[in-house]
Amino acid sequence: MSKVAAIVKLEARNQLKNLKQGAFESIITYKKRYNGALKAYHDHGNPPKDGAEQAMDFFDGLDNGRYADFKVQYLNSLQIKTITAPRDLNTVFNLANNWLEPKALPGGGYASTYATKVDKVEKKTNLKRENKIRRR
Q: In this predicted model, what pLDDT tens digit does every residue of 96-134 receive, in sequence order? A: 999 877 666 566 555 555 555 555 656 666 666 666 666
Confidence of residue 20 (pLDDT cuts 50, 70, 90): very high
Q: Mean pLDDT, to the nearest integer, of 50-61?
A: 96
For the entire predicted model, the pTM comes to: 0.71
pLDDT at res. 18:
95
Question: How does DSSP assign 53-79, residue by residue?
Answer: HHHHHHHHHS-HHHHHHHHHHHHHHHH
Query: Which class for 22: exposed (0-12), middle (13-18), buried (19 or more C-beta within 10 A)?
Result: exposed
The pLDDT of residue 84 is 93
pLDDT recorded at residue 2: 73
The stretch 28-46 carries a mean pLDDT of 95
